[in-house]
Amino acid sequence: DIQMTQSPSTLSAYEGDRVIITCRASQNIGTWLAWYQQKPGKAPNLLIYKASSLESGVPSRFSGSGSGTDFTLTISSLQPDDFATYYCQQYDAYPGTFGPGTKVEI
């Protein structure tokens, strides 16, 4: 199985900060990568697919980049609603595997 890692595991930030989360795959996955946001007690919400395509309805302050094995999720200006855990997921090959998550907190 393809292993996904994320860094950092926890990130402390202020409202208005630019936040960058990194995701790395154990092998080349092209751009077959998605990002999700999950708030406590809630289901995940799709933010980005195909590494850089913004899901409909997701604010433009979220962006994704990368290809191959290294990817980033950027929040350009952190808003109070963005404090959550973020997961990357590769879907290049079965089973689609998730990263361990990055918790963004105040």
Partner 1 sequence: EVQLVESGGGLVRPGGYLRLSCVASGFTFTNSWMSWVRQAPGKKLEWVANIKPDGSDTYYVDSVRGRFTISRDNTKNSLYLRMDSLSAEDTALYYCARHRVEYSFGYPKAPYFDSWGQGTLVTVSS
Sites of contact with partner 1 (CB under 8 A): 30, 32, 34, 36, 42-46, 49-50, 55, 87, 89-101
Q: How far is the CB of 99 from partner 1 (least distance, A)?
A: 7
56 or 60, CB closer to partner 1? 56
78 or 90, CB closer to partner 1? 90
Q: How far is the CB of 66 from partner 1 (least distance, A)?
A: 16
DSSP H/E element including 37? strand 33-38
17 or 92, CB closer to partner 1? 92
Q: How far is the CB of 62 from partner 1 (least distance, A)?
A: 15
Nearest Cα residue to 86 out of 68, 31, 58, 57 = 58
Cis upstream peptide for 95 (omega within 30°): yes
